[in-house]
Every structure is written in C-alpha cells, then in structure tokens.
Amino acid sequence: MLVKLHTVESAIAGLMPLILVLGAARAAVPVIGTVAARGSFVLDRATVTGNATLFEGATVETKAASSRMDLASGAKVLLAAESRARLYSDHLVLERGEGQWEKAATYHFEARGLTIQPETGNASARVALAGGARVELAVFSGSFRVLNAKGMLVANAAAGRSLELEPQMPDASTKLTGTLRLSSGHYLLTDETTNVTVELTGAGLSQDVGYRVEVTGTTDVAATPVSDAAHLVRVSSAKRLGKSRDSGGAAAAGKGGAPGGAASSGVGISATAVAIIGGVAAAATVGGLAAAGKLPGQGAPSPTPISR
Amino acid sequence: MNVLLRTLSLAGALCSALAALVAIRLAAAEAIVRQDTVTSVQRALTLQGSAPAEEFEQRLADLDPPRARETLEYMVREVNPRSGAGWIELGMLNEAHGNPAAAERSLLKAAQVDHQYLPAWTLANFYFRQGAPESFWSWAVRAAFLSAERLADSDLAPLLQLCDGFEPDPDRLLAHFAGVPRMRLAYLSFLMTLNRWDAAQRVALGMTGDRSNDPYLINFADRQIRAGHPEAAVPLWNAASGLPAIDPTAGKPLSNGELKRAPTNLAFDWRLDRVDGIESIWKPTELVLKIDGSQPERCVMLEQTVYLTPRRYRLRFDYTTGVLPSSGVHWALNGQEGFEIESSQELREGIFELPRVHGMANLQLIYRRSPGTTRTEEQIEIRHLRLESIPEVPFTEVMR
C-alpha cells in the first residue's frame, strides 16, 4: 500500500454524486457509491476482490480486511474486518461488527433498532455491535443524535464522547441524572450520560432545584414538552445526590457533553451511571471505543493503516 | 602498482564515506520524521533522496490530506510504476475527485502493467459508472474471460449486475459473452436470485442440448415448479431429464412412470421423502416400500408433481402387497385420497381415478392407519405406472 487509503479518500470532495449519476441513470437499481478493500470482501453474497460499484440495498460483508465505501451522499464509511452492513443511499444498517463514518454528511447508521445520525457534515464516529444487545458509539468529531426505534431522541453525543446503548423493554421506566433547574416555570434536567434535556413534572421538585438528582419516572410521549426539552418525564421518585446546590462537577459535565462525575469513573457499562430513556439504557464509557484507537481518525499519533 | 593500490584505497574510502553519509542522512530522516509535522516529514523525504520510504509518504498524506492524490501520483509514477494496485488506487481517487479523464488514464495504465482480472474488473466498473457502454462491454468481457481461474460462477454476479444495468435483454447481453460460455450459467443463477423467471427461462432454454448443463436445467426446472410455473418447467425437464418426455397438454403428465431411474426428488421426478418407519428401495423398473410398523399414523411415501390440463385422469399401476387384509395405502391427489389399495400377494393392476384438478398438483402415495387397525407392517412393490387421460363421455351418451 503506497498511501494510507483513509487519508487518500478523506481528500475526496463531494463530487461523487455527479460521478454516479450516469451509472445510476442506467441501472435498474440506483448506484449509491463504490466499495474498495485491500483484499476480498463479499458483496451480495458474491466474493469480490479489490473494488466494486455499490447499488442501493447492497450488503457488504468484510473478511480479514476492512472495506471502504465512498457514497454518493458524500459520506465515507469504513466497515471494519469481520463486519456486515446493508447500504442504502442515505443510511447503513449495521448487521455485524463495526462501522465508522469519516464524513458523515447526512448519512446515518442504524444498529439494533437505534438510529445514529450526524448533526454536522464533517462528523465522524464509530459504531459497533457489542455483546448482548449493546451498541457502542464513539464520536471522534462533530456531534451525533441517537434515536430509538420510534424516532425518539435518546442521546446526544459530541466529539470525544463514548456511549454504550442497549434497547430495553419498550415500557422501561425512565431514569436520568443531572442538575435540576427551573426555567420559566418549567423544571428541566439535562442527563449527564445522554446529554438529553427533559422537562420534569411531579410533586416536590421545587425542593431539588439546583441540586444534582437522580430521577425515575415515565416518559409521556403524548405530551409536548417546553421548547428546550426533548421529552416530558413524569417523575415518580427523585433522589438528591449532592449535599449542596450545584455541587460537584457533574452538572457541568452534563452540559458540556464530556464524561464526568459518576459516569467518568468507570470503564464499562456496569461501572458508570446508567441512564434509561425512550426504552434505551445508556452509559458513558471512557475505556471503550474512544480510548481503544483501533480505527484511524481518532487523532492517535500513529494511526493504524487501513488495510484494504 | 602503488598508484593502482592508492586509487583503489581512495575509492574504497570514498565508498565508505558515501555509505556513511547515506546512513547519516537516513538516520537524520528517521529522527526528523518523529517530529510528526508536515515540514519535518517533507524534510525527511528530502533527506531520503532518491529512495523515499513509503511510510514517510503515508505519514505526509496523513498530515496533509489535500496532498494525498499528489503523493499517490508521485509514488506510482516515480517509485513503483509497475504497481497495478497503485494505478487503480490513483484512478479511483481521480474519479472521486471528478476527473474521469485522469481516472481513465490511470486505470488503463493499471491494465497495461497488470494483465490480470482486477484492472479489467475495475475498468468495467469505471465505464459503467461513467455511462460508457462500448468501453464497458470491452472490459466486462475481458474481466469475464480473465475470471475463469479466479472466480466461482456465483461470484460473477456483481459483473452481471453491471451488464444487466446496460442490457436487460438476456439474449443481447449474452451475445457480448459469446466467447465465455460460463457466463450463460452464471447469468442463469443471477437471474434466478432476482426471481426474473422469464429472462432466466430464455437463458435456460439456450442451454439445452449440452449434457453438461443438464443438472443446472433440472435444478432450474425444479425452481420454476416451486415458483408456480410448471408449464415453463416442462420443456426444461424434457430436455434435461433423460427420461421419456412428458406432454401435459396431450394428457401425458407422469414422468419416470416405468421407474427406470432412481427418483431424484427434483422437478417432475418422483420424490421419496425420508419418513421414520419406511424404507424405500429402488430397483430398475420397481420401487419397494418397506413399512415396519413404526411409521406415523399418516405419511406420504411417494410423491410427484404433475401438471394437469382440464380433463379426467386415471392412474394405473402394477403392485404387490403383503398378506394383511388392510394395507392402509392409498393414492391421493393434493391430499384427496382414493380407495385403499387392496392387498395382493400376486402382481396385479391397481387403478386410481384422479379427482378433477387442473394445473399443478401433487400425486401422492400415502399410508394412513385405518380406524380399528394397528399400524401396518407391510411391503409394497410398485411398477409400471401410467397416468392416462380418460376420454370424456358425452352427456348424451350417458343419458342413453
């Protein structure tokens, strides 16, 4: 390999749509991009060596080498070795292993019923299917939103943030941690793990304003929350975690999007504060994907060359 | 002599000094590149002189992505111009940068230095994406030709998908690959996976006559039947089965009635599904079914898909059974049972009048325990099966 491919291709501008238009016009199934690998990969159950044209709905399965997809949307997607994904013009469904955006543009990932969508064009992140029903998300740049199967926001993740997400039973209760604040007569809380702001209703909340609290309740999907909040949560119990108002750095961490407070102490989902929202459990991870540096693009001093 | 020795010594010293200088430059380059900046890596490259290290180029590309294409171009032009993979990489990069002319040059260069499959395949893809059919077909055919020792037939599907994008008509598509016979079979598989039955049928019919294709045609006929297209399966079966032709429209829908060949379980042949308690033994012209008493209360022992046109049919067959008064064995059509086969230790003819069914149907020999009896231990031998159409008796004749 003469030049690291990920850097070669990171230089590619958004001209792919124009290039692919002709092919798309001729094929019964639209062309959505190209796929390349150093070695062979499986495309729609056929073994392909080197590179191929991607059609809408194609399934790419990698073997020992990762594969790289340049998509008509301008997004660049890397599928790690031993992974499988189905690709569409606007999204990818990760079926096994790991995938990574380099220029997410408007392209989103789906994994185990979760939708992970970029908020900025140059966002990059990695998504991996972990054990059980877990989905790991590590954001390298930009920011991403995570939605559950019903399109409900369950997490916001900014650069440097790593989350483990696991869909629960649909009626799972909501559990969030953050500093309770009062804004224009509405109680708001930004969860430290998911960075999602919710409006709270319930008895006795006024006593906890300014305190870091852990609240449990149910999300009222039919209710319209105040504009700053994503959801309205009816609180069944609230537990004060700090002794004084605005105590500790956790509240700030929650607003800043970086792992902090209880969430920052652990290295796995069991050692961190677990939030549950929209039927999805979420935990911040520090020793997870972001720290692993297994894929390039994380700013490591000597990134591992992509094999393709 | 002394002059010669001195000259040699001097030359040796110069060589040593030069080698030391090169070593120092390389060591310096290694040291400088560790600063990991664009400038330091560029400086290291300069120190490398005429033998730049690939990893330095890679790192420079990492640190300075806009230069990636330039770097790659330098590498394939100056360092390793015989690298087909490098030219392909450059070609794809140029294509992605919106420079198809440069991409084409690079990819053609790849094909020039590497006569294997990959450049041809890449060019076929490139011309497909560029919407250039003439060039596409040229490289697609070449890729197909070069794939012979490299790809399984099923792995030609991506190439065929491109071809199909330009030419969905099977005859015209295959005309491009006249010199690559395996493409017809690969194309048949490709069309089958897409459930494009009509196109696949045309391709399959073009494969008849070559005995090596028979297993594939039988398999396709079986698929056609399972897809609900028995009429399409008939000509394929007749061409490839090696059995006397069936002619459903002429009232001759039964295949392998003489049991001259062991049932294959495919298409219009007999199917012998594994059933606990029943052993099937085929001998030329005869099928023996041994029932040991542990069989299910009801089970299908023998079955054939028949394509029936609107008329009345009668199945005639020769058979023997064991000594038991009740065999529990019946013929059935789509589950509609006829009378139980009478026990007979002597070879005799049996008859099953088929219920009126049109279209595709399953002719079945079943065992069903009769009420008030135990499950039979029995041996049935069957041979010489004929499914005949019965002339319709005009209503006026019946009245008379």
- Concatenate the DSSP letters of all residues of B171-195 into one string: HHHHHHTTT-THHHHHHHHHHHHTT
Q: Is residue B49 in some structural domain? A: no
Predicted pLDDT at A294: 38
Measured in angstroms, the CA of A102 and the nearest CA of chain B are apart by: 13
Range in A169-173, A286-290, B123-127, B285-289 with the lowest mean pLDDT: A286-290
Place of tokens 């299908």: B300
CA distances from A175 to A120, A198, B97 (A): 28, 11, 48
CA nearest to B52 within chain A: A2
CA distances from A303 to A209, A300, B192 (A): 46, 5, 44
DSSP B344: -
| Residues B340-369: b if buried by 16+ CB within 10 A, e if exposed | ebebeeeeeebebebeebeebbebbbbbbb
DSSP B75: I
Range in A18-32, A72-86, A166-180 with the lowest mean pLDDT: A18-32
Q: Do B165 and A303 touch (CB under 8 A)?
A: no
Q: Which two tokens stand for residue B54?
A: 């690939």
Q: Do A11 and B80 touch (CB under 8 A)?
A: no
Angstrom distance (rounded) from CA A264 to CA A285? 7
Tell me if chain A has a CB within 8 Å of the CB of B134: no
Burial of A111 (C-beta count, 10 Å sphere; 0-12/13-18/19+): buried
Chain B contact set for A23 (CB, 8 A): 128-131, 165
Angstrom distance (rounded) from CA B355 to CA B312? 8
Tens digit of pLDDT for each residue in A267-279? 334 445 799 999 9
ipTM: 0.73
Predicted pLDDT at A293: 40
- In three-state secondary structure terms, A181 is strand
CA nearest to A60 within chain B: B158
Q: Is residue B8 in some structural domain? A: no
Q: Is residue B70 in some structural domain? A: no
How many structural domains compose chain B?
Answer: 1
Q: Using an 8 Å Cβ cutoff, are A136 and A114 in contact?
A: no
- Asked if pLDDT for residue A262 goes beyond 60, the answer is no
Q: Do A19 and B129 touch (CB under 8 A)?
A: yes
Place of tokens 């394929």: B236
Angstrom distance (rounded) from CA B237 to CA B216? 11
Tell me if chain A has a CB within 8 Å of the CB of B264: no
Q: Is residue B31 in some structural domain? A: no
Q: Is residue B331 in some structural domain? A: yes
Q: Do A49 and B158 touch (CB under 8 A)?
A: no
Question: Of A7, A35, A43, which to mutate for an interface test with B (greatest number of B Cβ within 10 Å)?
Answer: A7
Stretch A198-217: mean pLDDT, rounded?
Answer: 94
Q: Is residue B361 in some structural domain? A: yes
Q: Which two tokens stand for residue B389?
A: 């159409």
Q: What is the pLDDT along chain B (400 residues), one digit of tens a residue?
A: 677 778 888 888 887 888 888 788 878 877 887 777 767 766 776 666 544 455 565 565 556 666 777 877 887 888 788 888 889 988 988 888 889 999 999 999 999 999 999 999 999 999 999 999 999 999 999 999 999 777 888 899 999 999 999 999 999 999 999 988 889 999 999 999 999 999 999 999 999 999 999 999 999 999 999 999 999 999 999 999 999 999 999 999 999 999 999 999 999 999 998 999 999 999 999 999 999 888 999 999 999 999 999 999 999 999 998 776 677 899 999 999 999 898 888 999 999 999 999 999 999 999 998 777 777 778 899 999 999 998 876 655 545 4
Which runs of consecutive H residues, i.e. helices, occur in chain B? 2-33, 38-48, 54-63, 68-74, 84-96, 100-113, 117-130, 133-146, 157-166, 170-176, 182-193, 197-205, 214-226, 230-240, 395-399
Q: Is residue B383 in some structural domain? A: yes
Q: Using an 8 Å Cβ cutoff, are A267 and A275 in contact?
A: no
Interface of B with A in 273-292 (CB under 8 A): none
pLDDT band at A169 (very low <50, low <70, confident <90, very high): confident
Q: Do B54 and A2 touch (CB under 8 A)?
A: yes
Which phi and psi angles does B180 have, rounded to 5°? -130, 80
Measured in angstroms, the CA of B63 and the nearest CA of chain A are apart by: 9
Residue B342 structural domain? 270-399
Q: Using an 8 Å Cβ cutoff, are A44 and A53 in contact?
A: no
CA distances from B119 to A283, B106, B189 (A): 47, 10, 25
Q: Is residue B93 in some structural domain? A: no
Angstrom distance (rounded) from CA B287 to CA B303? 12
Range in A1-15, A33-47, B22-36, B140-154 with the lowest mean pLDDT: A1-15
Measured in angstroms, the CA of B129 and the nearest CA of chain A are apart by: 4
CATH number assigned to the domain comprising residue B375: 2.60.120.260
Angstrom distance (rounded) from CA A207 to CA A209? 6
Q: Do B58 and A4 touch (CB under 8 A)?
A: yes
Instruction: Give the torsion sign (CA, B364, B367, B368, B370).
Output: positive
Q: Do A22 and B158 touch (CB under 8 A)?
A: no
Predicted pLDDT at B163: 97
- Asked if pLDDT for residue A296 goes beyond 50, the answer is no
Q: Do A7 and B93 touch (CB under 8 A)?
A: no
Please name each of the domains of chain A with its CATH number: 1-87 (no CATH), 174-280 (2.40.50)
